[in-house]
Structure 1
Amino acid sequence: MKMKWVNQNPFVMLRKNDGFTIIEMLFSLMILMTTSIFILQLFSIIHTQLESKDKLHPKEWEIFTMQMQQEVRGAKSQDVIENKLYLLSGDQLSFIEQYEDKLRRRVNGKGHEVILQNISKFKVEKDGNVIVLNITDKAGNTVIRRFHPFFKSETKVDE
């Protein structure tokens, strides 16, 4: 087998005419791995963009239910007036209401804290002492959640 120098420089490798060298193989493997990483990232971005923006996000729903459970249990008084949930805790009166396609929380009639979004319909009822939330998202999925307070509501919020 005859080998020839590509260049007269001693640091340049010998080149064979019958196949790849290990350096060429590693270089092509590096290019393949780099492009596959970018393609996987591109598929991940496309997948998240294709998810429906009209649905309730599961993590958002989970956080909402935990916050509501904590607020309802901590309130001294709970009342429902005109499809709004009023919660009295200490000297603060907070209420939960639908505002456009969002569910918002306001304290003492001030503020605008969005606690849930992509809502098409919100209905709140009081079944004895239990607070029942009926929420429909923009995709048409309905979820019902019941909250049990620790304190029995003996006074009305508007008193």
Structure 2
Amino acid sequence: MKMRQEEVKPFVILRQNDGFTMIEMLFSLLILLIISLFVLQLFSIIQTQVGAIDKLHPKEWEVFTMQMQQEVRSSKFQDVAGNRLYLLTGEKLSFIEQYEDKVRRRVDGMGHEVILQNISRFKVEKDGGVIILEITDKAGTTFSRSFHPYLKNVQEADE
């Protein structure tokens, strides 16, 4: 007589019961917790992105003001006309203006360098030798900064 050796299959033995075992319950709970963690993180990321679309980030404003400070101080002539800031650096005339929802810089009337975005209003004034910029982002927050050039305009120095 030949004896048959049966192979022991652990998963088959687990499936012979009609209910869940404790290991299966813990495994299911682990999967549920992992999925819920990912979903919560996803909602957090989506909410952060939606809220930040219209706002001007403070770091972006900082970088913009540092660039403007450098441009104004290195220019030898500054003027404001038609809500544009004109700066003469060397032989190149650059101007900063609002274009749609962006603040752009153009050199000699050419180019389109975006230096700030998500803007609803851009206002520039000149009060004596001081240049005052006011910017309102799409969320309604207003930012303001004054710039003092190192060099006086040639016309102002003659007067």
Q: Does 1:130 align with 2:130?
A: yes
TM-score by length of 1: 0.74
| Structure 1: gaps of 5 or more residues | 1-7
Q: CA deviation at 1:18?
A: 10
**SS of residue matched to 2:144:** strand
C-alpha deviation, 1:109, in angstroms: 0.6
Match of 1:40 in 2: 40
Which deviations, in whole Å up to 9, do the C-alpha atoms of 1:78-97 show, x marking residues without a partner? 11122211111122211001
Task: Give the corresponding residue for 2:10.
Answer: 12
Aligned residues: 147
Structure 1: distance between partners of 2:154 and 2:7: 95
The one-letter code of the counterpart of 1:45 is: I
> What does residue 3 of structure 2 align with?
none
Q: State the match for 1:146 in structure 2.
A: 146
Matching residue of 1:5: none
| Aligned residues with identical type, % of pairs | 63
Aligned equivalents of 1:35, 1:18: Cα separation in 2: 21
Q: CA RMSD in A?
A: 2.8
- Between 1:105-114 and 1:82-91, the stretch displaced more is 82-91
Mapping of 1:43-62 within 5 angstroms?
43-51=43-51, 53-62=53-62
Q: Aligned-pair distance for 1:151?
A: 2.0
Corresponding letter in the other structure for 1:144: S
Q: Residue in 2 aligned with 1:3?
A: none
Offset of residue 52 of structure 1: 5.5
Output the CA distance in 2 between the equivalents of 1:74 and 1:10. Answer: 84
| Higher relative helix content | 2
Cα 1:29–1:75 shift into 2, 3 Å: farther
